Amino acid sequence: MRGIYIDPESKVVGEHCAVVYVPRKGRNRFPENCVDIMSDEHEALHASRPEEKYYAARVMGPSRSSEGLRLYYLVAWL
C-alpha cells in the first residue's frame, strides 16, 4: 500500500475492522475522527449504517500524515 510502511516488530500500525464515516465512497484514506475501530468483522457489519454513510471496512493504520493527522487507509469494504 503506497504511503504506509509496516514495521513487523511494531504493533503501532496494523489492520483493523472498523466502521468508517464516508461522505463520498471514492476516498481511500480517512482521518482518525471518521474511524471507529471494532473487534471483528461481525461487529463492524452490525454497527454500520449505510443510510447515514457509516460503512464497515477493513483499514490499515493509524499512520501519521505530513500535516500531522493520524490517518487510516482502506484495505477493503466489508
pLDDT tens, position by position, for the chain (78 residues)? Answer: 555 555 555 556 789 999 999 988 788 999 999 999 999 999 999 999 999 999 999 999 988 888 888 999 999 999
Q: What is the pLDDT of residue 11?
A: 59
Q: What is the pLDDT of residue 47?
A: 98
List all residues 6 or more positions away from 3 whose beta carbon is below 8 Å from its beta carbon.
29, 63, 73
Burial class of residue 35 in the structure, from the number of CB atoms within 10 Å of its CB (0-12 exposed, 13-18 middle, 19+ buried): buried
Give me the torsion for CA of 50, 18, 73, 55, rounded to 10°: 0
Q: What is the pLDDT of residue 8?
A: 54
Q: What is the pLDDT of residue 6?
A: 54
> Among 13, 1, 61, which Cα is nearest to 34's?
61
